[in-house]
Chains A and B, each alone.
Chain A
Amino acid sequence: MQKNKNTIFDDENDDKLYILSVIVENKPGVLFRITNLFRSRNFNIESITVGITEKPDLSRMTITTVSDVKTLEQLVKQLQKLIDVIQINVLNKENAVYRELALIKMNAKDPTTRIEIANFASIYRGNIMDISNETITVEIIGTPDKIDAFKNLVSNYGIIQVARTGVSALPRGAVNDHL
């Protein structure tokens, strides 16, 4: 049995964003084994998120990486070799729903600045999470591109802190995991 049921490898040699949705055993040491693999095999990772799935003994890791097809293939194969890895789906922008959450804290001493930022936030369907005399903190949910765009937009005000969750993703359409 091969673990990757619907891998999407195309012919391009160019670097592209891939989203790996990886089902792993939910037990201690698994995250360590996976991150250690990235380090020892020299793979570059953009983000990694972990959370429990619909089954309590399984976690879903979402890993995003920008790479060419050959490197991606090695990454998938090396991940598959790990005994705690149950299944891997290679997703991309087209066949997945994917979201990231970011918290962005900005300088906002001036009341008009606060109003401007609040306006931008509502255009981006963001939420104001905290507001003080000095700062304003906005929550943005969306694709990494959308979060980057918002960051650019507000960069003039002075960004003080950013916390991003990394991408979480699921394949679109019918469920094809048979676990």
Chain B
Amino acid sequence: MMNEMSGAAALMAALEKEKVDYIFGLPGGANLPIYDAYDALVDSKIRHVLVRHEQSAAHMADGYARIKRKAGVCFATSGPGATNLVTGIATAYADSSPIIAVTGQVALPMIGKDAFQETDIIGVTNPVTKYAFQPRVANEIPEMVKKSFYIAESGRPGPVLIDIPKDVQQQVTRMDFPEYIKVRGYNPIVDADLSEINKACEMILKAEKPMIMAGGGVILSGAFSELQTLAELLSIPVVTTFKGKGAFPENHPLALGPIGMHGHAEANKMVQEADCILAIGARFSDRTVGRFDEFGKDINVIHFDVDPAEIGKNKSVNAAVIGDVKSSLRSLIKLIPKNFKTNEEISKLWLGRKRELVNYYEDSIKDYSREITAKKALKKLREILPADGIVTTEVGQCQMWASLHFDVISPGTFFSSTGLGTMGFGFPASIGAKAARNNVPVVDIAGDGSFNMTENSLAVSVLEELPVIVFLLNNQMLGMVAQWQRTFYNRRYSGVHQKNCPDYCKLAESYGAQAYRVGSMAELDKALKGAIKSDVATVIDIPIDPDEDVYPFVAPGTGLKDMIIGA
């Protein structure tokens, strides 16, 4: 197809070809032609969502991508618009989430002249992007857009930046929209080497107490049913990383929940009792394994991952299966002999052990004796929210309580900023998730400090009719930092008091959102039901005690065996 059009129009046309339905962004001098080209679209499926801060645009694109499993798109102008995206891009990079960030840039003749609002955004974002393009002539744009989506979504996904100089946006020329593209230095491995899968299979079948550790890669590749089939076929219990939370239904008898710094106590304990760990789409992060040298020591560790560079990066392994984990799991399942009897005793042993530990920790990790605690509130949320409701979180204690006390039932309905731990991520990301799947309720389990950082997205949630529920665990504190100061700095609190400011109900109402402040479990019940029914954004302000700690806790630099279960 050949056509004469401007670079900006070609960008919009190329995005339409990628079936983009949402763009989150904010205009400025250097991307005016792009906004004008958006305005000129007729009968387009593309909807632009105007944000109040570009960081939130990137988080929205990220949240959209995590639910749609397709790249999310955000726009910003040059200079400050582009730099405001950086936290969002870095967050997406750390969690391997595909986003396409399109930034305006000063005109080509001005580049390098320290022009007004000129920032070398490709240089700034280099360590946190999978790739970046800067077209020099307008007819490069269609191919670059197509390559951007391909690179962002395939292999190990990640953010791609397209930085378009203003004169290139304006240049009118003949455009060619390629149907096929090839990126010669980029060949993500899909199908793993069968001999490695064979080796892995043998190790698992001969292990006495094998365990699966499912990471974010399972969610990224949508390998939910494969994971469940494998676990059930062999009666292997499943722990997850925090990023992998919800890769496996957490109400399943074989589910042990997340391990790590604030993992489930029984999961942290039992993963140390395995004699073979099958890590699927996980990267053995310090937050998950505690100490690299202790984790999985002297046992067989098998690693399935799409990224060859993850093999042996943090942990040396005994077998490595490189490829898309969904395809690798399918091949593995085929290798399991039809007549392979699941070892009843093993599963009894594990399930018995699980029951024993769950009971033990139920008794020893005390909940606070208050009307509302984070734990009780989250159990209530689980009770009321439908299984297919989407949940995301902010960062801090609120996030760790969510990990501990909110069980994900429907795989792939939970996500959080797990790699970068970005406060302010959850709320805009939940709006992106709502855009991706607007027929289910979407909840952001928030802390007051985090919500404060991107609360102006309330305007977006209200005006764009993307209603989400902010489940605000309000301890008037940067609670997680306060907990560390309580634990490691002898209660010397420094810079953690948020006080009673702002009044989140008034704040919500000023944006036209709905607000509840709840003082009892009955009120929380009512508020949640009201929020789920309503089609307006809702903030539920849940006052909790500022001294409430998150336990269990694996202190930084220590191993899972050193888990602390209370003060």
Question: Do A and B truly interact?
Answer: yes
CB nearest to A37 among chain B residues:
B127
Contact residue among A81, A83, A84 (Cβ-Cβ distance under 8 Å from B307): A81
Contact segment of B179-187, B248-256, B342-350, B442-450: B179-187
A70-B312, A77-B308 known; A83 vs B122 contact (CB < 8 Å): no
A80–B151 touching, CB < 8 Å: no
Question: Does A100 touch B at the CB level, under 8 Å?
Answer: no
B309–A80 touching, CB < 8 Å: yes
B184–A86 touching, CB < 8 Å: yes
Best-buried of A1, A77, A81, A86 by chain B (most CB within 10 Å): A81
Alpha-carbon gap, A24 to B186, bound state (A): 11
Contact residue among A1, A3, A73, A81 (Cβ-Cβ distance under 8 Å from B312): A73
A85–B312 touching, CB < 8 Å: no
A77-B308, A80-B308, A83-B130 known; A32 vs B184 contact (CB < 8 Å): no
- Which A residues are in CB contact (< 8 Å) with B311? 77
Alpha-carbon gap, A1 to B188, bound state (A): 8
Question: Does A93 touch B at the CB level, under 8 Å?
Answer: no
Question: Does B131 touch A at the CB level, under 8 Å?
Answer: yes
- Which B residues are in CB contact (< 8 Å) with A82? 185
A70-B312, A77-B309, A83-B151 known; A1 vs B185 contact (CB < 8 Å): no
B123–A32 touching, CB < 8 Å: yes
Question: Does B126 touch A at the CB level, under 8 Å?
Answer: yes
A1-B187, A25-B185, A29-B122 known; A83 vs B312 contact (CB < 8 Å): no
Alpha-carbon gap, A82 to B126, bound state (A): 11
Number of interface residues of B (CB under 8 A): 20
Q: Which of B170-226 contact A (CB under 8 A)?
A: 183-187, 189
Q: Which of B80-138 contact A (CB under 8 A)?
A: 122-123, 126-127, 130-132
Alpha-carbon gap, A60 to B183, bound state (A): 18
A25-B185, A83-B183 known; A40 vs B127 contact (CB < 8 Å): yes
Shortest CB–CB separation between residue B149 and chain A, in angstroms? 14
Shortest CB–CB separation between residue B314 and chain A, in angstroms? 10
Question: Does A36 touch B at the CB level, under 8 Å?
Answer: yes
Size band of the interface chain A makes with B: 20 to 34
Shortest CB–CB separation between residue A113 and chain B, in angstroms? 47
CB nearest to B158 among chain A residues:
A81
- Which A residues are in CB contact (< 8 Å) with B307? 81
Question: Does A44 touch B at the CB level, under 8 Å?
Answer: no
A78–B123 touching, CB < 8 Å: no
- Which A residues are in CB contact (< 8 Å) with B131? 83
Contact residue among A33, A81, A84 (Cβ-Cβ distance under 8 Å from B309): A81
A74–B313 touching, CB < 8 Å: yes
Alpha-carbon gap, A2 to B189, bound state (A): 8
Taking chain B's interface residues, is the majority helix, strand, or loop, or is none over half, making it mixed? Answer: loop
A83-B183, A83-B185 known; A74 vs B312 contact (CB < 8 Å): yes
B309–A36 touching, CB < 8 Å: no
Q: Which of A59-115 contact B (CB under 8 A)?
A: 70, 73-74, 77-78, 80-86
B126–A86 touching, CB < 8 Å: no
Alpha-carbon gap, A116 to B168, bound state (A): 62
Alpha-carbon gap, A70 to B313, bound state (A): 9
Alpha-carbon gap, A110 to B132, bound state (A): 57
Shortest CB–CB separation between residue A89 and chain B, in angstroms? 15
Shortest CB–CB separation between residue B132 and chain A, in angstroms? 8
- Which B residues are in CB contact (< 8 Å) with A2? 189, 308
Shortest CB–CB separation between residue B493 and chain A, in angstroms? 34
Alpha-carbon gap, A86 to B184, bound state (A): 7
- Which A residues are in CB contact (< 8 Å) with B122? 29
Contact residue among B132, B185, B309 (Cβ-Cβ distance under 8 Å from A78): B309
CB nearest to B151 among chain A residues:
A83
A86–B313 touching, CB < 8 Å: no
A86–B185 touching, CB < 8 Å: yes
Q: Which residues of A contact B (CB under 8 A)?
A: 1-3, 24-25, 29, 32-33, 36, 40, 70, 73-74, 77-78, 80-86
Known: A74-B312, A83-B131, A83-B185. 16 other contacts (CB 8 A): A2-B308, A3-B185, A25-B185, A32-B123, A33-B126, A40-B127, A74-B309, A74-B313, A77-B309, A77-B311, A78-B309, A80-B309, A81-B307, A82-B185, A85-B185, A86-B184
25 A-B pairs whose Cβ atoms sit less than 8 Å apart in the complex? A1-B187, A2-B189, A3-B185, A3-B187, A24-B185, A25-B185, A29-B122, A29-B132, A32-B126, A33-B126, A36-B126, A70-B312, A74-B309, A74-B312, A74-B313, A77-B309, A77-B311, A77-B313, A80-B308, A81-B309, A83-B130, A83-B151, A83-B183, A83-B185, A83-B186
Top 8 A-B pairs ranked by shortest CB distance? A77-B309, A86-B185, A83-B186, A1-B187, A83-B131, A40-B127, A83-B185, A36-B126
